[in-house]
Every structure is written in C-alpha cells, then in structure tokens.
Structure 1
Amino acid sequence: MKLRNLAMALTLALLPLSGAAQADDALELLVPGELSVATEGTYPPFSMRAPSGQLDGLEIRVMQEIARRLDLQYKPVLVKWESVLIGLEADQYDIISDAMDITPERQKKVTFADGWLESGGRIVVRDDSDITKPADVAGHSVGALVASNWSTLAEGLGAKVKTYKAESDAMQDLANGNVDAIITDSIAAAYAIKTSRLPLKLVEEPVSTIQKGFAIKKGKPHLVAAINKALAEMIADGTYAKLTTDLIGVDPAPKDPIRTLPQ
C-alpha cells in the first residue's frame, strides 16, 4: 500500500513538469517563447533599415505583429536570399518572412502559412525604353535576383538574363544602361522607383500574379495554425491594413489567399 501511494505521489508531482514541457513545445519552436524569423533586411519595402537603424518593412511589421499576438519575442535572423531555405531546413530559425512566392515547387519542400500578400512580376525599364510589354524583352538583357522566379520568367520570355544578389544593384545597373530591363516584384519595384528617383518606370502589363507566404519547415502543424490564426485576425480587425498602407499606399492583403496545404 505504501509503495502504491508513493508511486502515485511521484506521478502527481511530475504532472506539472510534463504540462510545462508540453506548453513550451506547443508551437514547435526552436527556443520556447521566441519566434526566430529569417529576413534579408535589404529588400525594400519588404525588409529594410529605417532611418533609426531598426529593421522595418512590410514583412517585418506583419511578422512582429504576429509574434506579439502569439505572446512571443520576435527575433530577426539576417540571411542571404540564396541560402534562406537551406537555413530553414537546418533549423537555424523557425520561419522565413523573406518575400517568398508560393509556388508548387516550393510547396513540396516547405509548408507555407496562408498567403499574406498579393503581388506579381513586373518589368522595369528606363523612361526612354522601347519595351512596352513583356514579349518585348525577347533578345534583350534583363536583370533579375539570383535564384528567384524572376530569372526563370525572364528566360521564358527569351531574354538574356543577368543575375544580381541585391535588387538595388539591378536597379542601378538598369539606370546606368548596363541592362535593358529588370524583372522583379511589382510592389518592391514601385517602392524603389519612388524612393530612388531614378529615371525608371514600370511596364503596365504584369508578367505574373503571385502571393507571398511565410515558409515553415514541414512537420510543424501547430506553428502553422497559430500563424494563420494571428494573420487572419489582424487582417479582419484592420491592423494589417494600417501597417502596410503606411509604406506603400495600398492594402496588399490577398482577397482569396492561398491556403496552407494539408500535411
């Protein structure tokens, strides 16, 4: 009898510890209470440095608000674009907020939270350019971010592709006449033209329409569900619109977001 009582007492004593461990692991985070987020920090208006030196941008603001709603500490991790998926697979951070298009190929490798922003590919040219539609870039030199969908789109249009590690370098090269056009995200391009005051313009016809998503390593359904819930709530209560329109003048929330695929 005494042994049975002792065993029961030990079991009850361990229950709170077990519960605490489960609470810590509920969101499948690398560090309990902390949401580590991969971002470039060099891709305006998605991620950039404010005059104060602090990180700012569309993805930064949205992800900071998601972390706040989940009662988590937001921890940005600065990563180069070409290695961002490698770092996710290696558990260097919990989630990628970097402006990543949701594509079928990427959906095979990672789990995307619901689409958080709608944009698309647009061609940028100099003000005096003869390029007026996507088909016109055939045979021309076109700049695009390395390892991006934009370089694939440029190749599909018959362009001679020159890749860059930073959008700002591509923009400057275009203004200097070293390439005939670039293909990039429409929101990023509009923001860059506005702030740089370079003699550039957007070709009116889009190359593509896409949605961007937050990428999470497969096998973390609780984290995905929590991100989706927080995102939906901040869109519904108007917080998302306030955070984004301040930077780009429009609310880029998808009207029909791409939903997380069943795992």
Structure 2
Amino acid sequence: MLKKILLPLIALFVLGIGVSAHAAEKYVVATDCTFPPMEYLDENKQPVGLDPSLVKEIAKACGFEVEVQNIAWDGIFAGVAAGRYDIVAAAVSITPERAKAFTFSDPYLDIYPTILAPAGSPFAKPEDLKGKKVGGQIGNSAIMALEKVKVGAVIREYDDVGLAIEDMVNGRIDAVAVDSVVALYYFNKKAEYKGKLRIAMQFGEPERYAFVVKKGNKELVEKLNKGIKLVKENGAYDRVLSEHLGSAK
C-alpha cells in the first residue's frame, strides 16, 4: 500500500522538477524614468515608454520574462556591474568608454541632432540659424552638435527641454535643438503643441542606442540581439516606435 502511495508522489515530484527546469528565465531590467518618450512613469508610477515596451516585446519573442524597475541614472551602471540588474534599457548611447566596462547589444535605434522650430518657420539647414536664438537642455548632445558646426547660433540652455519649447512657442527664442526622439514626441504626441511645431532638420552624426549588460555576459547579449532581429521581422518594433513616437512625417 505504501508503495502505491509513494509512486504517484514521486512521479509528481519529478514532474514538478521538470516544469521548474523549463520555466522561462526572468531578467531584471533597469531604466531611468525621467526621459520621455524613451522611459517615464505612468499615472500608476509604473515604468512605460519606448524602452520598456521594446524590451518586453523582445522578451516575448525570445521566450523569457522581464521585470522593469525605475533606477536613478547615477546608480544604473554600477548596479548592472554588481549584478543587481541584468539589463539596462535607458536610452544608452554606445561610446568607446562604456564599451570598455560593459557589453552592448546590437544598436536598436539611431538618434540624430534635430532642430524643432515653430510651424511656418523658414529654417532648413544649420546655416539658417546664424544669429538666431536656439534653446536646448543643458548638456544635451544636440546642443553640443550645434555648437560643433559653428553656424553662429545664439545658444540658450535650459534645465528642462520642455521649458525651451514653451519659450519658443511664445516667441522668446527661435528654435530648439533636441534629440530626434524628443522632437518626434513633442511634434506627434503633445496635444498642446498640435499645429504649432515643425521638425525643421536633422544634422550631424547619429548616436546609437543599445541595451547594456554586465561585461562578458555573452549568453544574455546574444538573446537580446536575437530579439532585436525578431521584433524587426515580426512587426513589433515598428508598432512600438509608432506608439511612442508617431510618424516622422
């Protein structure tokens, strides 16, 4: 009798081990929710944006799970190096310095310095900004790119790019230098500016966004690279970009 009871229990135990062994792997994803439309907090204080959406689509395509956490930028890289997070998905540009300390996935988005201007403005090339007041966020790469081309624009820096755009719409400055994703977000997704803005130009060299993992984590970066390819093939990539950026036209 005891044998008859134990055998089914042993079978269930073994089956349970088999199920556990084949459970989907779960990775902790760190993002800094202060940079819409790439990552920000929704009304429930949950991470949303292009990066969280894209990494979830990649996980779905590859058969693993992700938990997205909002982590302050100043601790995000130390956290992945220490193993507290598996992936950084936070609009991280590939740079030689970062590549020495971390492993990057294949790039998933190219970002260009962009000039956002009032609707009807005549600006078409950087030289058109000579003597014009151009705003931008302090330390932003688009402002640095504009300074690099030396067209004689009068640069005004702001703590928040939204303040620069507000000043432009109210006629206090002539244009705003921003990353292309931010330009698309304000042009397509901010209802209060509908019909008031135009994307005047892109210029300079692109930055390339990629996911970051701990140095040498070849297995995980291969999964991410496979996932980037799959979501571009199955249409999920285009859906995510359209949802968060809208049309470039």
Give me the TM-score of the superposition, normalised by structure 1: 0.67
Q: Distance in 1 between matches of 2:161 and 2:48?
A: 17
- Of 164, 181, 186 in structure 2, the residue corresponding to residue 170 of structure 1 is 164
Amino acid corresponding to residue 239 of structure 1 in structure 2? A
Q: Distance in 1 between matches of 2:88 and 2:205?
A: 22
**Pairwise CA RMSD:** 3.3
Q: 1:231 aligns to what?
A: 228
Q: Distance in 1 between matches of 2:246 and 2:49?
A: 13
Q: 2:65 aligns to what?
A: 72
SS at 1:35 equivalent = strand
After superposition, the Cα gap between the structure-2 partners of 1:222 and 1:164, relative to the gap in structure 1 and judged at 3 Å, is farther
After superposition, the Cα gap between the structure-2 partners of 1:194 and 1:139, relative to the gap in structure 1 and judged at 3 Å, is same
Q: Does 1:121 align with 2:118?
A: no
Contact 1:123 1:207 in 2 (8 A): no
Q: 1:63 aligns to what?
A: 55
Q: Distance in 2 between matches of 1:84 and 1:173?
A: 32
Contact 2:168 2:175 in 1 (8 A): yes
SS at 2:168 equivalent = helix
> How far did residue 42 of structure 1 move?
3.4
Contact 1:137 1:157 in 2 (8 A): no
Contact 1:43 1:167 in 2 (8 A): no
After superposition, the Cα gap between the structure-2 partners of 1:113 and 1:192, relative to the gap in structure 1 and judged at 3 Å, is same
What is the CA deviation profile of residues 101-121 of structure 1, one whole-angstrom value per residue up to 9, with x for unaligned ones?
334454344332111123422
What is the CA deviation profile of residues 40-68 of structure 1, one whole-angstrom value per residue up to 9, with x for unaligned ones?
32333222344565432221111122334
- Of 209, 220, 244 in structure 2, the residue corresponding to residue 212 of structure 1 is 209
After superposition, the Cα gap between the structure-2 partners of 1:33 and 1:148, relative to the gap in structure 1 and judged at 3 Å, is farther
Amino acid corresponding to residue 194 of structure 1 in structure 2? N
Give me the TM-score of the superposition, normalised by structure 2: 0.70
In the alignment, structure 1 segments of 5+ residues that lack a partner are: 1-22, 24-31, 252-263
Q: 1:152 aligns to what?
A: 144
Q: Distance in 2 between matches of 1:177 and 1:230?
A: 45
SS at 1:153 equivalent = helix
Q: Distance in 1 between matches of 2:238 and 2:48?
A: 16
After superposition, the Cα gap between the structure-2 partners of 1:130 and 1:231, relative to the gap in structure 1 and judged at 3 Å, is closer
> How far did residue 153 of structure 1 move?
0.5
Q: What count of residue pairs does the alignment treat as equivalent? A: 220
Q: 1:241 aligns to what?
A: 238
Q: Distance in 2 between matches of 1:221 and 1:178?
A: 50
Q: 2:13 aligns to what?
A: none
Contact 1:36 1:77 in 2 (8 A): no
Identity %: 28
Contact 1:122 1:186 in 2 (8 A): yes
Q: Does 1:35 align with 2:27?
A: yes
- Please, which moves more after superposition, 95-104 or 157-166? 157-166
